[in-house]
Amino acid sequence: MKKVVLVTGANSGIGLALCERLLSHDTEGLHLCLACRNVQRAQAARAALLASHPAAQVDLLQMDTSSVFSVLRAAQEVKVRYKWLDYLYLNAGIMPNPEFDAKAFFRGLFSSKAITMFATGEGILTQKDGVTPDGLQQVFATNLFGHFLLIRELEPVLCQEGRTSQLVWTSSSNANRSAFSLEDIQHRRGTQPYSSSKYATDLLSLSLNQHYNKQGLYSSVVCPGFVMTNLTFGILPSFPAFLWTLLMPVFWLIRVFTNTFTLTPYNGSEALLWLFRQKPESLDPYAKYHSLTSGLGNNYTQPHKMDITFETSESLYSKLLQLESDMRKKVAETQPAGPSLKT
């Protein structure tokens, strides 16, 4: 039987690179589903994958993780299409309206924290968040809550007797404890919504293992490293393209000193592919699995213990359950003809 793999945010960057590598690893043994917000870009990604793997089975699913109704509708479609899911890669994410602190950058450039600054963006990046039509903070909804709701809605195909399924979250080295607060899980009052959402991702993965392992569902977190993707380019939108080209030798030089500079989506997807090959029950729920690239260009995966606690993860899980209940009621009132909602 083919393994069914669903990847969110699969039309570019890490997600698309992962899909390419998965098909290269086992074309005939996979049934791949690309879950994307933009249908045209998803179609282009599917065409590219089929061009290099003509025998592959690649489906498309339209889904916007920032929209509760879109997630519920997409989940209903998944349950109609597939009897089970073996892997769910929770990769979709945004960093909207990033603001770059040039003064902090140049101060850090000549300090002992220069490499850490490059690798994580700590101290030099802030974002202006938005609000979705559902009334949720945009980054929180896209990066975390939409995925949480998807998992909850897909329980029938993820949790089946006699089978194991795996959740793989794309987190970040920018997941900082200082950016997250249980009193403000959506980060309405802060300036680091991306960092907050990624730290919440780390917490949620731990709690999901606590609640779902007995049902055969396991959750892991990865960090792709510093990768040049559309999200990265958006950090400095005023930079001309040639300047990024000029910076690349600097990034390659930095790689000699830190293996977190994976730079390409292919390299950044290393840990995601590595987890595909592992038995999920053998993995450490407190570890974040990092994609790393050596100075010689060799890719490998290494676990690092996350800065999280079980108590905080359980508190976040409880708050998300309450928010889920509230949002389901809201959608039921505004979309009476929509998908049937779990209570």
pLDDT at 121: 58
Average pLDDT (312-339) is 88
What is the band of 102 on the pLDDT scale with cuts at 50, 70, 90?
Answer: low
pLDDT at 174: 87
Question: Which stretches does DSSP call E strand in 98-178?
Answer: 98-100, 125-127, 165-170
How many Å from the N-terminal Cα to the C-terminal Cα in the chain?
32
User: For residue 33, what are the contacts with CB-CB under 8 A and spacing of at least 6?
Assistant: 4, 5, 6, 7, 58, 59, 60, 61, 78, 81, 82
Q: Please state, rounded to an integer, the average pLDDT across all residues of the chain.
A: 89
Query: What is 3-334's CATH topology?
Result: Rossmann fold (3.40.50)
Cβ pair 138, 62 in contact under 8 A: no
Distance, CA of 87 to CA of 174 (rounded, Å): 25
**Reduced DSSP (H G I as helix, E B as strand, rest coil) percent helix, strand, coil of the chain, to 5:** 50, 15, 35
Domain boundaries, the chain: 3-334
- How many Cβ atoms from other residues are within 10 Å of residue 279's Cβ? 9
Given the residues 87, 89, 194, 286, the one annotated as active site: 194
Distance, CA of 68 to CA of 335 (rounded, Å): 11
Distance, CA of 4 to CA of 94 (rounded, Å): 25
What is the band of 318 on the pLDDT scale with cuts at 50, 70, 90?
Answer: very high
Residue 343 reports pLDDT greater than 50: no
pLDDT tens digits, residue range 292-304? 998 888 999 999 9
Q: Is the pTM of this model over 0.75?
A: yes
Strand 98-100 and strand 125-127: the pairing is: antiparallel
Known catalytic residue: 194? yes
Q: Torsions phi, psi of 295, nearest 5?
A: -60, -25
